[in-house]
A = this chain, B = another copy of it.
Amino acid sequence: MSSVDKQLENLKAEITNELPRDISVSDVKYEGPELVVYTRDPKKFAQNGDLIRKLASKLRKRITVRPDPDVLSDPREAEPKILSVIPEEAGVTDLDFHIDTGEVVIEAEKPGMVIGRHGSTLREITQKVGWTPEVVRTPPIESSTVSNVRNFLKQEREDRRRILERTGRQIHREQLSDDEWVRITTLGCCREVGRASFIVSTPETRILVDCGDKPGSDDVPYLQVPEALGSGANSLDAVVLTHAHLDHSALIPLLFKYGYDGPIYTTEPTRDLMGLLTLDYLDVASKEGRTPPYESEMVREAIKHTIPLEYGDVTDIAPDVKLTFHNAGHILGSAVSHFHIGDGLYNVAFSGDIHYEDTRLFNGAVNDFPRVETLVLESTYGGRNDYQTDQQDSEKRLIEVINETYDRGGKVVIPAFAVGRSQEIMLVLEEAMRSGKIPEMPVHLDGMIWEATAIHTTYPEYLRDDLRDRIFHEDENPFLAEEFNHIDGGEEERQDVADGEQAIILSTSGMVTGGPIMSWLRHVGPDPKSRLVFVGYQAQGTLGRRIQNGWDEIPVNGRDGMGRSDTLKLEMDVETVDGFSGHADRQGLENFVKTMNPRPEKVLCVHGDERSVQDLSSALYHDYNMRTFAPKNLETFRFK
């Protein structure tokens, strides 16, 4: 008998012993990090509201209780009973019964009302029908990404359960080594921005943290270094993804092409955004005539292998590693990732990309951990002069620019990343219009912005407190405001907009490297009354940066599908309004570290250009007397 089977047998005995005599335990299994307890008495289990919580705290495991398939009631009988328990206002849109696990997935417009106070409604459902309810939100704006992911996972349910069971047994395997050490290997994003990737390793375990691409660089050399994947991608035990931007996520699906078959830990919104962004990444590559590094099939593999975690859940992901995600304030679902290694041996936190102050969309990054000895800190704006304008001032300036442009009868075109900055700007515009600071006019959303916004509204729990509350309780979802228009009519609609009255246009790509923004430049660019307004960072070498620097002859071709290869004379004004970054500025980074309690002993400054990481590293050393490093790629640090 394997050690895991023995462990499960002991757990079954212990649980049986803890439960009241009239509640039976028919099986006990690991699924990913969870312990699943099957019972022939699900209703009695549900009556005793506190039972699962007590068991979980006693066994120090995450516990899910499921009915033994033998005792399941007929879904046709269960469905009306379930609906009778849930208040009508919850807006149930779908019920999906899974006989294999005894779960019923309830999709509802207001999941909170299906859950009830402290889960009371859920328990009532189980008491009535025996099934275990699981609740998901009906996207308030229809999202093809969310529905595709959900349908795919439904269809792959059986395969997924096999993956989860295998992963569960891996996580709970016996520790093999007597050695104790903790190492971080830097694979990418050191003294550069792009291709974020690290390995955290112990004698037992190898965890890949992020696996991003470097924009503008075709090859993926670091994955070919043996240190990256060891004896093949199979030598990895787990992959952790801090957020969905491509410089962190793009090569996650490639791992499956390389033979990886284990779990991806990330938040639910990051999973969906990763699906959206990596599929677009493949699309862009093929449109630009490059060979994509993997096929869309691999994106589906990545989604199938994702084990979503919520902020604050302390989760076993290996025999000697616990992972906890915390809000990072950067984009939807972005997570500071905290690793507790061994039994009190060592703690490492990866900031991922962070924004330390609150923004309209998100609460500021969490920097409060029980223990952290080493912090791996992003340094995008770590340079000594990288102080950003306050967002309040930036908003004022943006409003001024819009008003001026409106007054002279022009249009405002804003290139923006689909995920994050677009929604932030939407919130600014919605408020400005609602409060009369700018005239009412249509705000057209082009490219993936609409879809990304739909994903935001599907996961309001991940948004800033008061925004979440507005969406939850007051039914004032700002993203549903009537001025927002989804450009879904292609070139014809764009032409109409261009020929029409004053308007604001938000369009991808954010750095003017392709996408519908190219079309907008053609339509609106020659109009000297209109304005092009940059609200985000324009990287070296992008067309956006060149326009910022004064170029006004723009090559127009290719990606809009028109195949033209012309140059276009830009007559519109060009403005830059700083201060809407998703990244903490230098002050924010220092504040993040300064207010950490306890402060880490060591800080690795990464994810910034040479100057930024050096500046930040020496500032933190001088100001807080920590050991700080500005690593290069492909170094290995040993901490214990």
Contacts and interface: CB of A to CB of B under 8 A. Distances in A.
Nearest to A235: B226
A636 B185 contact: yes
Contacts of A229: 231
A229 B227 CA distance: 9
Interface string A214-249: 000000010001110111100100000000000000
20 contacts: A177-B221, A179-B221, A181-B632, A181-B634, A183-B634, A183-B635, A185-B227, A185-B636, A203-B225, A206-B226, A226-B227, A226-B231, A230-B230, A230-B231, A632-B638, A634-B638, A635-B635, A635-B636, A635-B637, A636-B636
Count identical subunits in the complex.
Answer: 2
Contacts of A127: none
A494 to B, nearest CB: 41
A388 interface: no
Nearest to A177: B221
Interface of A: 177, 179, 181, 183, 185, 203, 206, 221, 225-227, 229-232, 235, 632-638
A636 B227 contact: yes
Contacts of A637: 635
A244 to B, nearest CB: 28
A392 to B, nearest CB: 43
Contacts of A185: 227, 636
Contacts of A635: 183, 635-638
Nearest to A637: B635
Given A181-B632, A227-B636, A229-B231, 18 more contacts: A177-B221, A179-B221, A181-B634, A183-B635, A185-B636, A206-B226, A226-B227, A226-B231, A226-B235, A227-B230, A230-B230, A230-B231, A634-B636, A635-B635, A635-B636, A635-B637, A635-B638, A636-B636
Nearest to A190: B638
Contacts of A230: 226-227, 230-231
Contact of A638 (B206, B232, B633): B633
A635 B638 CA distance: 6
A32 to B, nearest CB: 24
Nearest to A226: B230
A188 to B, nearest CB: 12
